Chains A and B, each alone.
Chain A
Amino acid sequence: MTTEWGVTPRTSPVRLRPGGASLRRRALRRRSLVRRLDVLLLGAVAALVVLGALLVWSATRPRLLDAGLDPQQFLQKHLVNALLGLGLAAGAALVDYRALRAYAPVVYVLSCLGLVAVLSPLGSTINGAHSWIVLPAGFQVQPSEFAKVAVVVGMAVILAERHDGEDVPRHSDVLLVLGLASVPMLLILLQPDLGTMLVLTAIILGVLAVAAAPARWIAGLLLAGVAVAVGAVQLGVLEDYQLDRFTAFADPDADLRGAGYNVDQALTAIGSGGLLGKGLFQGTQTNGAFIPEQQTDFVFTVAGEELGLVGAGAIVLLLGVVLWRGLRIASEASDLFGRLVAAGVVSWFGFQAFVNIGMTLGIMPVTGLPLPFVSYGGSAMFANLVAVGLLQNVHAGATGVRD
């Protein structure tokens, strides 16, 4: 199950470096993690995490000072989260490629249990979403973030199990993965967490598409999604605040004090940043705490206001690098499983980044999704970095095959 997927030989930028003894190169190739690492991906993610830390710091500093608290409190927690996340990423990257599939059911079951726990008395509501489990010592876990990883890996496992000579997944396999994905989706719908639902949908569509599922399925799923959305509005499944957000998106000036307020203030913050921004910690919108949830869902507004087009554009481009490397890893994966995992992660990051930044720019409705790597939030940071670790693992697997 290797070359039939058209894996093309790949040249890493590290290898392009001239010189170096072939013996040493061979040794490095076999042993060193560095040699098997996608350095550009790691660099871009690291840059995003560092920028994110600065932005979270800037967003929370005035609010903490106002409350008479340590202004570095959020920054410290954010950095701890990032370090823990890096550890998890390293784990995900170093797990034996072949063993990954074996862990998939475990991750899936744990995620689903977590989501059930959220709905039990253990769960708690933050900002209108019943998505959290509050642990002792002030820790909070958001199982829906890990569900994204579980769905990516789970789908890849099933769809990669191809029967001989088949180019496309069987209908039964497609139904199976849909059934598999529908359990966490249903549980998340009950929270309700519309944003994560949409991300999972994007993952399912992305993985199915790259798994070469018939276009009928993709189109059918899109149609079903629209039908579910319409039905949800009609049956009143959505909370009022969620409907208000969509109304505010359709007509931003309708209710500037209410649902339209966030977007209006976000646009003012970003627009007033201009080309070069007002300087870190110098944003008047940020310092005045005009934008709610600024360190999480609206963290991009800090970049727009304080770092200007240069800084905000850099974040978009760094996310572009992550996606580019992810797509590259997908196309060079040694097997279908690796390719599907990479495609799932790219669909996830791409969709989530677009919806998050798009909402701060007023071109997408407000859906309460964090910006990958940048927003404050432990569970999301862990899940995102684990996903990056998986990409590195797939990448390393591809390099390994060549040996």
Chain B
Amino acid sequence: MDRSGSRLFVLRVLVVAVLATLLGRLWFLQVHDGEAYAVAADSNRTRPVVTTAPRGEVLDASGRPLISNRTAMVVAVNRSLLRREPDGGDAVLARLSAVVGLPPDELRRRTTPCGERLPDGRVAGSADGCWAGSPYQPVPVAQYDTRDAAATRSVLAIEENREDFPGVTADLQAVRDYPRGTLAAHVLGYLQPISEEEVARPEYAGVQGSALIGRAGVEQVYEPQLRGVDGVEQLLVDKDGTVTGTASTTPPTPGSTLVLSIDAEVQAVAERELQAAVEAARQRPYYRGGGNVVADSGSVVVMEAKTGRVVALASYPSYDPTLFTGGISTEEYRALLDEANGQPLLFRATQGAYAPASTFKVISSAAAVMAGQVGFDDVTPCPGVFGPTRQSNFGDADLGALTLRTALVRSCDTNFYKLAYDAWLADGGLRPVAEPKDPMISMALAFGLDARTGVDLPSEGTGLVPTRQWRQEYWESLKDDFCAGAANPAFDAERRARNQDSCVDGFRFRGGQATNFAIGQGETLVTPLQLASVYATIANGGTIMTPRVGRALLPPGGGPAVEVAPQPKGTVPVSPEVLAALRDALHGAANEPGGTSYATFLGSGLDVAGKTGTGEVNGKQDTSWFASFAPYDDPELVVVGVVSQGGTGASTAAPMVREVYEGIYGLDGKPAALPGGRLPAALPVVRPDGTVALPP
């Protein structure tokens, strides 16, 4: 074959190679990778447009709106667009600063995702108010009421001068509205943007990266029901994003309406009286001297004794939930957590822990009587000082010989020291028997202390019951510190000796600790809601009801209501006779001369039974308590009040609770917030048009 022919042969081979290459590649793209490309082509031609589902409203027990929705103008910054600016968006933020009235560096901090570096090189943390949502989502920096024409006009300047504000949007959005202002702020909670990590979780499936979710209160607990399901319209688009049609449409399903057992009027009474009590207390000198009463914080709990339904939960100081709408500023958030301001974000009713003091004596009494140590009418001495532990009565008073009932009524301490000390000795004292009975500790646990009540509110505290096991663990965790302190030359001799004792046998349950526990002191801590649950259990005849804030969920469109049924958690090991005797003693305490709150309830017109408490706190003023229920013969409501650093129970908490009762029942010339003290039996009804029909 000549050269030309062989060159033709090479050409032929080339052609075959080229064809084989093309066919092979075609097979690879269309068959091997075809599925993936089909998916890509589908997402290429559709753009989801999400219609946020209207979030469910929150109503009080009578259907009064506590949270509703309104339209607001929300200014947001899209950081990924901002970063494309030559100067990283500094000029844009400076211009935006003039419109929204926030300093540019504040805008920079709030639009920086948490964990990324700020311009000064620090890593942005929650103290900077960093952005916890997806880095690709616009960050809301300000929101304006559309009813405020002046504000809306200035914000519209952003939309009208788009070229000056790349990456900044001003859109109308539905935001939470609080028709009753700050009322029940802690109970309601607030919304914040969902975090990137949360979006990935299964419980948030279908939730947009830009969504706001409940971060506290019922907004958090009932998030799935309130949220509803967002609607999605899949628009067909061409390469320019021009809409050519609709591939599919799923309309949004609004969230359910949440009806609370909270009564807005009772809540208002509780909050008003709590604040009034705090302010009045601050005008009085502290009874142990050293200036006026501090009264830094407090709480009031109003609960149905039989059902555990919570009628009011007040916490002082409180905050304005609208701070969170449209994004909270760094300074504002810091202020809500600042101890100097009394940590307004802390919900005292469920998260505040205080020594229960004498209010705890109902549990000590029940324990001693059920253990057979004493009867309610057995007479025992109430000396000024209890010999074995050298612990004294309140004010060192010697009340002579009295019955256990009278000891409760007049709040003798030494009487309870003896009962506790005897029980401690029976358990072996410092050399405990194998299975000590610890009747008072067991009774406290049986009443549900040292555990969450299970209320439908987030981040509830457990309080503390210092059991032997807790002492052992606590000692083990601190033993090394005690032993080091025993040899610390900087400490004086007495302090070294104390550390030495703790180092050697700090795990031991001592007689003085047992006696202290009997009067609700020492390490013992309860939340106001826990104490309310204890008194509700005594009032209702021994059943522990799980406290409930939510009453029912009304589905959108008017389907049958889903009730949050009252939930019995168990019963306490206390006989009905003993419970009746406890109620009788508590009634006496508020109604018999010599009773600790007799003076307070003199002429109140309501048959209240209740117990004061004055909790001693190291380095602080006493905690003022009053725990009660009414009416005595058929208890409806439990009211518990506490004022931290409020002085004695009789001076601050007890009068406050009386005011609350009067406000609820309409006594002493006050209008009745909840006539008869009964929540409406029927639920409010959401009509198909979305309006609410109140229960009869």
Please determine whether B34 and A271 come into contact, CB atoms closer than 8 angstroms.
yes
Contacts of A343 in B (CB 8 A): 8, 11
Cβ–Cβ < 8 Å partners of A272 in chain B: 34, 37-38, 40-42
A312 within 8 A of B: yes
Query: What is the distance, in angstroms, from A180's C-beta to the closest C-beta of chain B?
Result: 20
B545 → A minimal CB distance (Å): 60
Tell whether A179 is near chain B: CB-to-CB under 8 Å: no
With a CB–CB cut-off of 8 A, which chain B residues contact A91?
Answer: none
Chain B residues, Cβ within 8 Å of A353: 18
| Residue from the list A265, A304, A319, A339 in contact with B239, Cβ < 8 A | A265
- With A212-B4, A284-B42: A350-B22 Cβ-Cβ less than 8 Å: no
Residues of A within 8 A of B244 (CB): 287-288
Give B residues with C-beta under 8 Å from A: 1-5, 7-8, 10-12, 14-15, 18-19, 21-23, 25-27, 29-31, 33-34, 36-38, 40-42, 44-45, 236-240, 244
A316 contacts across to B, CB distance below 8 A: 19, 22-23, 26
A309 lies within 8 A of B15 (CB)? no
Known A320-B15, A354-B18; judge A309-B37 contact (CB<8 A). no
Q: How far is the CB of B250 from chain A (nearest CB, A)?
A: 21
Q: Determine if B29 and A288 form an interchain contact, defined as CB atoms under 8 angstroms apart.
A: no
Pick the interface stretch among A92-100, A137-145, A356-364. Answer: A356-364
Residues of B within 8 A of A206 (CB): 11
Least Cβ–Cβ distance between A149 and chain B, in angstroms? 19
Q: How far is the CA of A341 from the CA of B179 in the complex (A)?
A: 89
Query: Do the beta carbons of B239 and A290 come within 8 Å of each other?
Result: yes
A305–B29 alpha-carbon span in the complex (Å) = 11
Let me know if A275 and B34 touch, CB within 8 A: yes
Q: In the complex the two chains form, is A268's CB within 8 Å of B44's CB?
A: yes
Nearest CB in chain B to that of A305: its residue: B41
Contacts A272-B34, A313-B26 known; 14 new A-B pairs at CB < 8 A: A5-B4, A211-B4, A268-B37, A270-B29, A271-B40, A272-B42, A290-B45, A304-B29, A309-B31, A320-B15, A327-B11, A339-B8, A350-B15, A354-B18
Query: B45 — which chain A residues lie within 8 A by C-beta?
Result: 284-285, 288, 290
Q: B42's closest neighbor in chain A, by CB?
A: A284
The answer to whether A270 and B26 touch across the interface, beta carbons within 8 angstroms, is: yes
B11 lies within 8 A of A209 (CB): yes
Task: Kindly supply a per-residue 1/0 record for chain A positions 281-308, scoring 1 wherever the CB is within 8 Å of any chain B CB and 0 otherwise.
Answer: 0001101111100000000000011001
Residues of B within 8 A of A211 (CB): 4
Mostly, the A contact residues are helix
Q: Take A271-B34, A323-B15, A363-B21 as given contacts and tell me if A210 and B7 are in contact as well, using a CB distance cutoff of 8 Å.
A: yes
- Enumerate the 7 nearest inter-chain pairs by beta-carbon distance, A residue then B residue, closest first: A271-B37, A272-B41, A212-B3, A288-B238, A290-B239, A274-B34, A272-B37
Contact between chains at B29 and A168 (CB < 8 Å): no
* Cα-based distance from A341 to B120 in the complex (angstroms): 72
A211 to B23, CA, bound (A): 30
Count of chain A residues with Cβ under 8 Å from any Cβ of B?
A: 55
Interface of chain B: mostly helix, strand, loop or mixed: helix
Query: Which A residues are CB-close (under 8 A) to B23?
Result: 313, 316-317
The residue in chain B whose Cβ has the minimal distance to the Cβ of A266 is B29
Could you say which residues of chain A place their CB within 8 Å of the CB of B40? 268, 271-272
In angstroms, how far is the closest chain B Cβ from the Cβ of A289? Answer: 5
CA distance A103 to B462 in the complex (A): 103
Q: Which residues of A contact B34 (CB under 8 A)?
A: 271-275
Q: A210-B7, A275-B30, A289-B239 are in contact. Are A327 and B15 (CB under 8 A)?
A: yes
Cross-chain contact A210 with B4 (CB below 8 angstroms): yes
| Closest-CB distance, B352 to chain A (whole angstroms) | 55
In the complex, what distance in Å separates the CA atom of A212 from the CA atom of B19?
Answer: 25
Q: Which of B2, B31, B236 contacts A274 (CB 8 A)?
A: B31
Most central of A268, A290, A343 by chain B CB within 10 Å: A268
Complex-state Cα separation, A319 to B5, whole angstroms:
22
A212 near B7: Cβ-Cβ < 8 Å: yes
Q: Are A209 and B30 in contact (CB under 8 A)?
A: no
Say how far A262's CB is from chain B's closest CB, in angstroms: 11
Q: How far is B41's CA from A271's CA once the two chains are assembled, in angstroms?
A: 9
- For A331, the closest partner residue in chain B by CB is B8
**CB atoms of A288 and B11 under 8 A apart:** no
Q: CB distance B2 to A212 under 8 Å?
A: yes
Interface assignment of A6: CB less than 8 Å from any CB of chain B: yes
B10 lies within 8 A of A209 (CB): yes
A168 proximity list for chain B (CB < 8 A): 3
CB distance from A351 to the nearest CB of B (A): 9
* Cβ–Cβ < 8 Å partners of A269 in chain B: 41
Q: Which of B5, B26, B42, B44 contacts A309 (CB 8 A)?
A: B26
In the complex, which residues of chain B have a beta carbon less than 8 angstroms from the beta carbon of A273?
30, 34
B8 touches A210 (CB 8 A): yes
Given contacts A209-B11, A212-B4, A271-B29, contact A288 B44 (CB under 8 A): yes
